Amino acid sequence: MVMVINKWKRRLKAKQKIIDPDQELIGRFLKGDEGAFNRLVLSYQNRVHGLSYRMMGNLEEAEEVAQEVFITVYKSLPDFRGDSRFSTWLYRVTINHCKNRIKYLGRRKYYQSDSFDGPVETEEGEMTKQIADDNLDPMDRLDQKETQALVQEKLNELDEEQKSVILLRDIEGMSYQEIAEILGLREGTVKSRIHRARLDLKEKLKKEFSQ
């Protein structure tokens, strides 16, 4: 009996209308307001660019992917049914574009990662590659940069499936449910992939420090 009730509750919850804070802008855009789409881009461009950069490990590739993402969103937004939040759908589009780009570069046997030892200057301004603690003294800050650079290097060695779940969970701070929606997986699968990815990353770092 309890199982039946819980199942009914899950179905009812799934049927509830998703409250999307971006719905107003989406509606305005669909009515022909181009400025509304520009507002959406401004709201999400840093997050899309940041996720693309961490997935690709290369600034030039990340910029190209981010541009392609928003072109895709512009063309596909009229077909967006609102089954999930716009932000969830946007992250899904971003992850898929990154995976496709990584596969494309892999087929060409070409892949280049930026060094992660400092900020990058872009047309929009300076983008910090690493999270720096201003309370650290110069030597500790240097150690932090070197550690973060090593973590990113080993993160780039993971496959795109492992990398995506770690980035969404440990960098973007998303819930298991959100990640499941973005990747089209069950929550249990997401949890197991995150666990496996963390173990693999830990093992890679352990080997590096033991040398």
User: Where does 1-113 sit in CATH, by number?
Assistant: 1.10.1740.10
Is there a contact between 77 and 29 (Cβ–Cβ < 8 Å)? yes
Write out the H or E segment, with its range, that includes residue 10: helix 2-15
Phi, psi dihedrals of residue 137, rounded to the nearest 5°:
-75, 165
Answer yes or no: pTM beyond 0.75: no
Q: Give φ, ψ of 37 to 5 degrees.
A: -70, -40
| C-alpha to C-alpha distance for 193 and 210, rounded to whole angstroms | 26
Domain map (residue ranges) of the chain: 1-113
Kindly give the confidence (pLDDT) of every residue in the chain, 211 residues in length, as a single tens digit, with 9 standing for 90 and above: 545 445 544 554 544 456 788 999 999 999 999 999 999 999 999 999 999 998 988 889 999 999 999 999 999 999 998 888 999 999 999 999 999 998 888 765 555 555 444 444 444 444 444 433 444 443 444 455 566 677 778 888 888 889 999 999 998 899 999 999 999 999 999 999 999 999 998 888 888 777 6
CB atoms near residue 19 (< 10 Å): 7
